[in-house]
């Protein structure tokens, strides 16, 4: 027997920029980015914009056109694509087709750029289309929600939903750069604004107790949309996510996925609700359920659990609802465990908590204990509403 063997590594490097009013003519962040990069002849730039962002910022396309007019390094394609925001963008494969058609129509090559402006779902859709067109067109992300600025928009994953399953089609393809503009957060409704905070709580609980303590102490300021506090939360949360990506398994070749703490139920809950429940809202409920399960298995103290649940409710999160409620072993949400394992491959791997700021991987979840955990969360939520009738 004989064989040939090859081994090589590829270095990925990209920056996350934090700025305000990115397309203001006096803001040089974006123009300096293109000036600093090695240019190729005929570089183009094509924009795909979240419809919600487009409606909230009616002058955005004109601002983009004015910003790129004097730039010599890249040529703007004036025909911008507007796509629905939220999970609708990942559920409709025709939107993927439209982006690929634009690549063909405008002769967008691998030295050019496709820019996505929007929430995490739109970034996922556009990132996937960019990654598979010509085997990889340069992709720039401009996240416009708390969730995408601190988590999904700064990572290496792209994808769309398919066959009723979340992220069934996708790639690991890092962006060329990410530009976080805090001005986009000002037009979010309270529900979308709050939703992204759950991912910060998640990463704090598994990696950084000091950060969790800060969130706990600043719930009122965050709930009241204090921009200084939110900017800190987004940047620190993004750093923790980037630190994790730089670890041993950035493309998730193994079965472990600690950054998906609380997500096995969240992904299924989104699907069962026909995506009427936002991702961050489902993650908050998933955190409550898995933190309670951690307590019931003896890994986490009840005092620590209560702090987690109070922090979530003080921020205005619902921590349970009929979809995630587990009454018996036939409850639909439990199907999420099987689908989570299928998506990861290999054996089931779930992250639980042994302390605030410390996660532990387990490879099975007892359904009877999950039923008890669900009831505990339900009772806590009910009692909290009685004690705090103004909580919403």
391 pLDDT band (50/70/90 cuts)? very low
What CATH number did the domain enclosing 339 receive?
Answer: 1.20.1090.10
pLDDT above 90 (res 243): no
What CATH number did the domain enclosing 159 receive?
Answer: 3.40.50.1970
pLDDT above 50 (res 390): no
Question: Do 291 and 217 sit in the same domain of this protein?
Answer: yes
Assess if residue 213 is contained within a domain.
Answer: yes
In residues, how long is the chain? 392
Question: Do 146 and 202 sit in the same domain of this protein?
Answer: no
Given 172, 187, 202, which residue is the final one in a domain? 187
Q: Domain range spanning residue 64?
A: 15-26+35-187
Mean pLDDT of 292-317: 97
pLDDT in tens, 6-15: 887 888 788 9
pLDDT above 50 (res 255): no
Between CA 17 and CA 322 the distance in angstroms is 40
pLDDT recorded at residue 247: 62
pLDDT in tens, 179-216: 999 999 999 999 999 999 999 999 999 999 999 999 99
Can you read off the two tokens belonging to residue 325?
């409620």
pLDDT in tens, 43-59: 899 999 999 999 999 99
Q: Is the Cβ–Cβ distance between 147 and 199 less than 8 Å? A: yes
Between CA 24 and CA 139 the distance in angstroms is 21
In Å, how far are 80, 85, 287, 305, 383 from 312, measured between CA atoms?
A: 39, 25, 9, 11, 14
**Could you tell me which of 148, 102, 119, 129 has the C-alpha nearest to residue 56?**
119
Residues of the chain with pLDDT > 90, as a percent, come to 72
CA angle 132, 136, 140 (to 5 degrees): 105
**Could you tell me which of 281, 377, 385 has the C-alpha nearest to residue 326?**
377
Higher pLDDT, 251 or 236: 236
Question: Do 335 and 297 sit in the same domain of this protein?
Answer: yes
Given 169, 187, 205, which residue is the final one in a domain? 187
How many domains are there within the chain?
2
Residue with tokens 């096995």: 264
pLDDT recorded at residue 241: 86
Between CA 261 and CA 287 the distance in angstroms is 7
Question: Do 233 and 314 sit in the same domain of this protein?
Answer: yes
Between CA 336 and CA 180 the distance in angstroms is 32
What residues does 352 pair with on adjacent strands?
Answer: 360
Mean pLDDT of the chain: 90
**Could you tell me which of 96, 179, 190 has the C-alpha nearest to residue 144?**
179
Assess if residue 39 is contained within a domain.
Answer: yes
Ramachandran bin of 274, using left for φ above 0, alpha for ψ from -120 to 50, beta for the remaining angles: left
Question: Do 206 and 275 sit in the same domain of this protein?
Answer: yes
Question: Do 264 and 320 sit in the same domain of this protein?
Answer: yes
Question: Do 77 and 98 sit in the same domain of this protein?
Answer: yes
Question: Do 57 and 126 sit in the same domain of this protein?
Answer: yes
Assess if residue 10 is contained within a domain.
Answer: no
pLDDT recorded at residue 387: 47
Q: Is the Cβ–Cβ distance between 120 and 148 less than 8 Å? A: yes
Question: Do 152 and 271 sit in the same domain of this protein?
Answer: no
Given 187, 216, 244, which residue is the final one in a domain? 187
Per-position b or e across 134-164, b if 16+ CB within 10 A of its CB: eeebbbbbbbbbbbbbbbbbbbbbbbbbeee
Question: Do 159 and 208 sit in the same domain of this protein?
Answer: no
Between CA 189 and CA 275 the distance in angstroms is 17
Can you read off the two tokens belonging to residue 200?
């910060």
Q: Is the Cβ–Cβ distance between 192 and 278 less than 8 Å? A: yes
**Could you tell me which of 285, 252, 290 has the C-alpha nearest to residue 266?**
285
């Amino acid at each position: 027997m004989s064989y040939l063997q090859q081994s090589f590594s590829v270095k990925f490097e990209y920056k996350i920029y934090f700025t305000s009013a990115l397309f203001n003519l006096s803001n040089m962040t974006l123009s300096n980015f293109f000036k600093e990069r090695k240019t190729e002849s005929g570089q183009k730039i094509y924009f795909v914009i979240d419809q919600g962002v487009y409606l909230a910022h009616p002058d955005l396309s004109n601002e983009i056109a004015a910003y790129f007019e004097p730039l010599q390094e890249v040529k703007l394609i004036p025909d911008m694509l507007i796509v629905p925001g939220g999970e609708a963008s990942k559920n409709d494969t025709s939107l993927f087709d439209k982006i690929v058609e634009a690549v063909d129509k405008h002769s967008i090559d691998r030295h050019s750029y496709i820019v996505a402006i929007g929430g995490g779902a739109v970034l996922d859709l556009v990132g996937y289309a960019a990654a598979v067109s010509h085997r990889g067109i340069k992709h720039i992300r401009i996240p416009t929600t708390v969730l995408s600025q601190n988590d999904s928009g700064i990572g290496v994953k792209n994808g769309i939903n398919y066959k009723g399953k979340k992220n069934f089609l996708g790639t690991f393809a890092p962006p060329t750069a990410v530009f976080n503009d805090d001005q986009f957060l000002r037009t979010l409704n309270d529900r979308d604004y709050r939703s992204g905070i759950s991912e910060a709580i998640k990463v704090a609980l598994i990696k950084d107790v000091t950060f969790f303590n800060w969130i706990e102490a600043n719930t009122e300021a965050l709930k009241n949309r204090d921009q200084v506090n939110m900017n800190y939360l987004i940047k620190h949360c993004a750093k923790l996510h980037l630190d994790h990506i730089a670890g041993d398994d950035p493309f998730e070749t193994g079965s472990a996925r600690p950054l998906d703490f609380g997500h096995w139920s969240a992904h299924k809950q989104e699907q069962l609700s026909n995506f009427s429940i936002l991702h961050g809202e489902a993650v908050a409920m998933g955190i409550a359920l898995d933190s309670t399960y951690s307590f019931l298995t003896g890994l986490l103290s009840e005092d620590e659990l209560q702090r987690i649940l109070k922090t979530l409710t003080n921020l205005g999160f619902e921590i349970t609802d009929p979809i995630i409620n587990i009454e018996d072993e036939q409850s639909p949400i439990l199907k999420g465990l099987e689908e989570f394992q299928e998506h990861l491959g290999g054996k089931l791997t779930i992250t639980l908590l042994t302390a605030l700021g410390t996660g532990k991987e387990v490879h099975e979840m007892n359904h009877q204990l999950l039923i008890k955990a669900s009831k505990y969360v339900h009772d806590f939520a009910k009692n909290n509403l009685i004690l705090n009738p103004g909580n919403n």
